Every structure is written in structure tokens, then in C-alpha cells.
Structure 1
Amino acid sequence: METQRRPGGRSARVRDAVRQATLVEVTQRGYQGLTVENVAKRSGVHKTSIYRRWGSPEGLVADALELAAAEPIPIPDTGSLDGDLRAITEAVRAGFASPHGGAIGCAFILAGMQNPAAAAALQNFTAARRKQSVVVVERAVARGEVSESIDAEELIRFALAPIYYRIFVTHEPVTAADAVKAADAALTAARAGIL
């Protein structure tokens, strides 16, 4: 007879404790300061268990990304694609501007640049976020604001790209006005048939 794993239970509690400890450690110490030993102390989970299940700091980050990808995000509904895109770009800008969100976001991206498992988890995470966000484009198509031939995921990518470029390539601050410009440029491209 095959046994089924119960949802939740000790395994879920351990995973949640380790994830929460990972996020706190990343926020306080940065990605470079993330260690299995510190996560073990903070989570109350023995470090050999963490090494066995997660293997490394990159594995901890990859698992945190996997869990985060499944979480719903608030999707704006301002009544127009202009307003919705501006709300999305502002949410991303504000998230990276906050000490907590910025530290976690940077850790996720740094891990993805250094570890294949973290890179795959980062790709899945960003794909999940885009898929949740495309509802704003689908509503805009239904309202007749943009053509139904639009690539909704590409529009979301295009709107967010300038924000990520400033944060991770040029290391420039991103203002609320920059977020508005990014959204407006993406929408202009969409309406011109580029996307």
C-alpha cells in the first residue's frame, strides 16, 4: 500500500522556518553573508538537515524563490492600462527601494547569477510574476485599449526592464517619475504595434 505525504506537518514547518530564517539573514547580512550555519541557528533546524535538504546558501535562496513564485501578488485594477502599468512599475520600484524588499530581491538575483539551481528558480519566479500581471493587459484588450494581438508578457517585461537596468546595471536610484516613464514607454510601444 502506498503512503501519501500529509500536506503541512513537520516537513512544512521545517521548510517554513528555514525560509523565514533565510529571508531574515539575507535582509540583515546580504546575500554574501548568508550561511547555512546562521540559518540553522535562526530557524532552530540542525545544520546537517539544512545541508542535506538545501545543500548551500544558493539552495536556500532557490527554495525561497520557489515558494515565493507560488504566492499571489496584488494586481492593480485602476480601470485603465495606463494606471495599471504605472501601479506595477511603481510596486517594483518601491519594493527594491525598501530595505527589506531590496535586500531580498538583490539576493535572489545575485544567487541566480552564481548558481544554476538559483537561476532556474529565479526564471520560474519571474515567469510566475509576469503571468499574474498579464491580467491587466487582458482586461485592457477586453476594454479595447490595445489590440488583442499584443504580447502581454512582453509588455510587462518591457515596462519593468528600465527599472531593473537602473538598479542592477547602472546602480542609479529609481524615482517614482522613472517608474511612470517606464510604464508610459511600454504602453506607447504597445500601441504602436511594436509589442
Structure 2
Amino acid sequence: MTARRGEVVRQAVLAAALAELAERGYADLSVEHVAVRAGVHKTTVYRRWPDRESLLTDAVLEQAAGDFAIPDTGDVDGDLAVGLRALVAWLTGPTGRPLVAMLRSDAGRLPAVVQARRRFLAARAQVLARRLASAVEAGQVPAGTRPDVFLATLVAPVYLDLLVLDRDPAPEDCDRWAKVALAAARAHLLA
């Protein structure tokens, strides 16, 4: 019973952290506010997470883990466009937008945030690797296409728009970027 109660508390704190991030932004987020929102004492939060950065990274990563999928309908061109649109929708949505703002700020250099960003991208690389393996098997993408290089080619324009140009990518941008990444793969440039 204790483990279940512990998991219920953990989920409540993570949900409260995301709600606080969306409502207040990173700069005004505090562990105390998260604790109040979750209905727990702040020592309960600090027992599991030593600081707000580790709390936020766990919250964002856990929520994001289930939010990224690339369908496998047999049409890799369409599937990648749909997957990229979904990623952009998440990054520009209520959870992702404060995360992008946090990455733009000094918080983006904190060790916990850097580590979280690596885990975030590694999880997406695994999803993409599975989809690319299916596309290779179907003859839609050449064998030897490296998932890590493909992912960088696919998402670099997204992060350029969000982090450097401060602009939300449009759905047609996602479609174009998916076509560019696939064209590069098919030209054997991503091996």
C-alpha cells in the first residue's frame, strides 16, 4: 500500500510541477507552490527531488515520453510529417512552451536540464529508429541511414525556429522538413 500511495503522491507532484510551469513559467516556479498545488508538504517534494530543476526535468520527461509517436501506416513520408507536426504541437503547447522558454534562458545550461534534454532527444531517437527500421525493410529509406543523423536533420529546423528565430513552425513547415530529411536519406547523405 505504501508504494502505491508513494506513486500517487509522485504523480500528483509531477502534475503540479507541470501545471505550475505552464501557469507561472520557469522563473516564478517554486517547490513551495508545487507542493501546495499537489497537496503535500514541501519536504515531501524535496525528499524525492533536491531542486526545482530535477523536479521539472522528471515531470517534463515523464509527460513527454508518452507524447511522441511516429505512426507506422506503411507510408513513411506521411508518417514522419505527422510525427513532426505532433512534436511541434507539443513544444508549442501548454507544457512544451514553458520548457522551450526554459531552454532559452540561463536554466538551459543547468546540468539537470542539459541531462534532461539529452534523455528527451534519446527517447525520440529510439522512436525514430524503430520507424526508420520499418521504412528500410519496406524499401522506402536506404539501408545504412543513421537514425541519429536523420533525427538531427529532421528536428534542427524546428529548434531553429523555436529557440533562435522565436517563431512557431507551421504545419506546412513540418511537412517540408520531413520531405527534406527523407530526400537527404534517399540521396544517401544521412548514412
TM-score band w.r.t. shorter chain: 0.7 to 0.9
1:136 aligns with: 131
Q: Deviations over 1:83-134 (max 9, x none)?
A: 1111111111222233x14335326635861321222122112201220222
Q: Which stretches in structure 2 are left out of the alignment for 5+ residues?
A: none
- Between stretches 19-28 and 109-118, larger displacement belongs to 109-118
Say which SS state the counterpart of residue 52 (structure 1) adopts: helix
2:186 aligns with: 191
Deviation at 1:74, TM superposition (A): 3.2
Partners of 1:152 and 1:128 lie apart in 2 by 12
- Between stretches 84-93 and 68-77, larger displacement belongs to 68-77
Partners of 1:35 and 1:104 lie apart in 2 by 14
Tell me whether 1:19 sits opposite 2:14 in the alignment: yes
TM-score (structure 1 length as normaliser): 0.86
Partners of 2:2 and 2:61 lie apart in 1 by 17
Q: Which stretches in structure 1 are left out of the alignment for 5+ residues?
A: 1-5
Pair 71,11 (structure 1): closer, same or farther in 2 beyond 3 Å = same
Q: 1:102 aligns with which of 90, 96, 100?
A: 96
Write out aligned runs for 1:31-180 (5 A).
31-68=26-63, 71=66, 73-98=68-93, 100-106=94-100, 109=103, 113-180=108-175
Partners of 1:180 and 1:55 lie apart in 2 by 41
Residue identity opposite 2:99 in structure 1: G
Aligned length: 189
Partners of 1:168 and 1:15 lie apart in 2 by 31
Partners of 1:68 and 1:189 lie apart in 2 by 31
Deviation at 1:191, TM superposition (A): 0.9
Cα root mean square deviation, aligned? 2.2
TM-score (structure 2 length as normaliser): 0.87
Deviation at 1:59, TM superposition (A): 1.7
Deviation at 1:66, TM superposition (A): 4.6
